[in-house]
Amino acid sequence: MPNILLLGERVERDYAAPLARELAARGVAARLAPDLPPGEVDYIVLRPGAVGADFTPFTRAKAVLSTWMGVETLVTNPTLTQPLARMVEPSMTRGMTEYVTAHVMRHHIGLDVHVHGLKGAWHRTVPPLAPERPVTVLGLGELGRSAASTLAALGFPVTGWSRSPRELPYLARTFSGRAGLHGALDGAQIVVILLPLTRGTENLLGAAEFARLAPGAVIINPARGPVIDDDALLAALDSGQVGHATLDVFRREPLPPDHPFWHHPQVTVTPHIAAETRVATAAAVLAENIAGVERGEPLRDRVDRAAGY
């Protein structure tokens, strides 16, 4: 019977019952508790944002399983040497794809002007059709592939960029590596950021990158705030090189009340809502991963420590 440590009050509250049910459905009888002796723990389930733990005492642990997809606060913990799995679950992917699609369509059609901007003036601006609107998706992991394929199905010519080469038939173009970033951005009218936060992606988008975009381009970032150089983005917005930024993630969250993003007329702030972990589906993913390891299978969605995700 594996012993599963639920690390953190919210994990205990949210996951104890559904995870126990999902494990039982897979024939795994487990002990789940928030206060197990470290030397008896087989698995640890946690939320990265609430943890600054010392994992050294957990000498028996077969895996640490995160309830979040982003693991940047865990991979930098030198005491966490156990195998680490990030959360990849279908509801999160669907939520992100819906958020991205909604905001791409909002900016493509020009809904902000129609909803807020006419104010009694009959000013007709007809948007282009989707095939005339180049979109670039930065990051072709689970979330990026889902969003990119949905946008491509709507007719947008989608360019994809990733750390390593990928061949995806629905993409108009693909680029990879730091050397390919500027090519992926050249002429893009809408840029969607779906990258993890790593040493290689922090401040990835700055003045030189914004200069590559089509004048008045739109930035949509529901991934990680520090991927963008905030000062460079504000300068690009003020100059008009970037026409609008829709931001769901920030260097500090909640976003401080005095931050310029709140007050800039060309910035939309949403409060980190693009892709939330849904407990019901996440519990099933956690249970299947634990049950698989108990059967002798490899840990799913295992984090590459060198890559940072």
- Cross-strand bridge partners of residue 220: 192, 246
Among the options 103, 108, 224, 244, which is catalytic? 224
Angle between helices 142-153 and 90-109 in degrees, nearest 10: 40
What ranges in the chain are assigned the alpha helix state H? 9-25, 72-75, 90-109, 111-112, 142-153, 177-185, 207-210, 230-239, 260-263, 279-294
**What's the rounded Cα separation, in Å, for the pair 196 and 304?**
12
Distance of CA 10 to the CA centre of its chain: 21
**Do 47 and 276 meet the contact criterion of CB atoms below 8 Å apart?**
no
> Which helix (H) or strand (E) is 267 found in, with range?
strand 267-269
Please tell me which residue in 106, 272, 300, 305 is annotated as part of the active site: 272
Q: Is 272 a catalytic residue?
A: yes
| Amino acid of residue 150 | T
H/E stretch holding 30 reads none
Question: Cα Rg for the chain, rounded, in angstroms?
Answer: 21
* DSSP 8-class letter at 229: -
Chain CA centroid to CA 263, Å: 25
- Strand, coil or helix: 195: coil
Residue type, 7: L
Q: Which helix (DSSP H) or strand (DSSP E) does residue 298 occupy?
A: none
**Which residues carry out catalysis?**
224, 272
